[in-house]
């Protein structure tokens, strides 16, 4: 695993904007960054990332099955009791899912360490699936990269297969929050794939979804929403007025309600209890005293947080790093600290994608902090032996 500095394509911004990738720059700082790329060997990809991702995914599916059959475990995850049956039913009836992302600390040697699961509303999808693949193809065409360079990236292909397998006959709605360019970019990309496999698709802002008196979710024209991809976390929905109507409605949700188990950082201690000592897992347990100082060599994370918010860590040497945020109303976990590798002045995280039930590709993020945030840069990668 190497970081290789390289020349940018002179026209990459125009290319991005022509493709609808409008969040390539955030607050005048690069989000997409092709001034360097990460180079992996095929063995690193297959043995250290792809295979562990597939194995961990199977462990996650087993965990869901255990949790839905145990009210004690559902309670440990701070899931509201009125939603136990809905979550259990979504699993037992086999409600289909599309995607998820595991975040790893990996330096090119030794086992990749699972930092967390993003299995409900992960973003950075378009740039991982499509834009970095376009970067590879164009750089090869222009002689900027060797012709035998490859990439661990079947995300787009697997998504096409996953949508085609749904065989939906009614309109599929894709919802994101008003004003979020990144979220809209993610849902627009998924819509495009749905349309390519013959599914009629429509966009709706989450705030514009309505509920009829007889419990049907509808759009602004009072049309029924039969299938809904919502880029809005289940833990938020559980505490919103419309949440109580979901269990008895006739809308199919993506991601399904059982994903609430895996998008919860409380799942990490459960995985550790079931598979203690697994080379890709980190020791983790419920934090009994989240108001105290974080011990050396540990990370404190809230059950429900996004983009690094409310995470605090202390390295073995005593360096304390923390991010403020709004996620203070649920339990916290303590997880063993696995430092992100440092390349130049940046710390690097690997996001490994699962599409359906298959490991499908990676995205690389960089930050000048040990905590990866929504503004952390996305760099392309390639495989070159």
> Each residue of 271-282: pLDDT tens digit?
999 999 999 999
Domain chopping of the chain, boundaries: 2-264+342-383, 288-336
Q: Residue range 340-368: average pLDDT?
A: 97
Query: Per the structure block, which two tokens stand in for 25?
Result: 């720059």
Three-state DSSP at 57 gives helix
Q: Quick check: 173 pLDDT over 90?
A: yes
Query: Per the structure block, which two tokens stand in for 29?
Result: 């700082």
Q: For residue 102, report the phi and psi dihedrals to the nearest 5 degrees.
A: -100, 140
State the sign of the Cα–Cα–Cα–Cα dihedral 341, 53, 136, 20: negative
Tell me which residue of 277, 234, 276 sits closest to 254, measured CA to CA. 234
Q: What angle do CA 309, 68, 358 make, to 5 degrees?
A: 70
pLDDT band at residue 325, thresholds of 50, 70 and 90?
Answer: confident
Instruction: Reply yes or no: is the peptide bond before residue 205 cis, omega within 30 of 0.
Output: no
Q: Residue range 33-37: average pLDDT?
A: 98
Q: Residue range 75-99: average pLDDT?
A: 97
Q: How far is 125 from 202, CA to CA, in rounded Å? A: 19
Look at residue 131 in the predicted model and tell me its pLDDT.
98
Q: Residue range 9-27: average pLDDT?
A: 95
Q: Residue range 42-46: average pLDDT?
A: 98
Regarding pTM above 0.85, the answer is yes
The set of residues, in sequence order, having a beta carbon less than 8 Å from that of 118 and lying 6+ positions away, is 100, 101, 102, 103, 263, 351
Q: Quick check: 103 pLDDT over 80?
A: yes
Q: Quick check: 315 pLDDT over 90?
A: yes
> Each residue of 104-157: pLDDT tens digit?
999 999 899 999 999 999 999 999 999 999 999 999 999 999 999 999 999 999
């Amino acid at each position: 695993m190497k970081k290789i500095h390289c020349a940018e394509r002179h026209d990459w911004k125009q290319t991005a904007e022509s493709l609808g990738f409008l969040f390539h720059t955030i607050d005048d700082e690069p989000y997409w960054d092709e001034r360097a790329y990460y180079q992996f060997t095929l063995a690193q990809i297959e043995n250290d990332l792809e295979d562990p991702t597939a194995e961990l995914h199977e462990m996650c599916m087993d965990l869901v099955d255990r949790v839905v059959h145990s009210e004690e475990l559902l309670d440990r995850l701070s899931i509201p009791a009125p939603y136990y049956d809905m979550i259990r039913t979504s699993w037992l009836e086999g409600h289909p899912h599309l995607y998820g992302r595991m975040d790893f600390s990996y330096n090119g040697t030794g086992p990749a360490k699972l930092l967390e699961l993003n299995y409900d509303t992960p973003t950075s999808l378009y740039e991982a699936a499509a834009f970095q693949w376009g970067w590879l193809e164009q750089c090869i065409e222009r002689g900027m990269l060797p012709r035998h360079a490859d990439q661990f990236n079947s995300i787009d292909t697997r998504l096409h297969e996953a949508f085609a397998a749904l065989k939906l006959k009614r309109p599929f709605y894709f919802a994101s929050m008003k004003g979020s360019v990144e979220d809209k970019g993610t849902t627009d990309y998924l819509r495009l794939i749905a349309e390519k496999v013959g599914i009629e698709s429509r966009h709706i802002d989450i705030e514009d979804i309505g509920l009829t008196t007889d419990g049907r979710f509808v759009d602004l024209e009072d049309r029924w929403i039969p299938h809904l991809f919502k880029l809005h976390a289940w833990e938020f929905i559980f505490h919103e007025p419309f949440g109580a109507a979901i269990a008895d409605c006739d809308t199919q949700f993506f991601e399904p309600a059982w994903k609430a188990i895996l998008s919860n950082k409380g799942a990490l201690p459960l995985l550790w209890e079931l598979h203690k000592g697994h080379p890709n897992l980190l020791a983790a347990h419920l934090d009994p005293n989240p108001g105290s100082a974080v011990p050396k060599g540990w990370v404190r994370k809230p059950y429900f947080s996004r983009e690094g918010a409310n995470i605090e860590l202390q390295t073995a040497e005593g360096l304390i790093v923390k991010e403020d945020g709004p996620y203070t109303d649920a339990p916290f976990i303590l997880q063993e600290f696995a430092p992100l590798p440092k390349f130049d002045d940046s710390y690097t995280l690997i996001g490994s994608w699962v599409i359906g039930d298959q490991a499908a590709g990676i995205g690389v993020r960089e930050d000048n902090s040990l905590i990866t945030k929504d503004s952390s840069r996305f760099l392309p990668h390639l495989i070159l032996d």
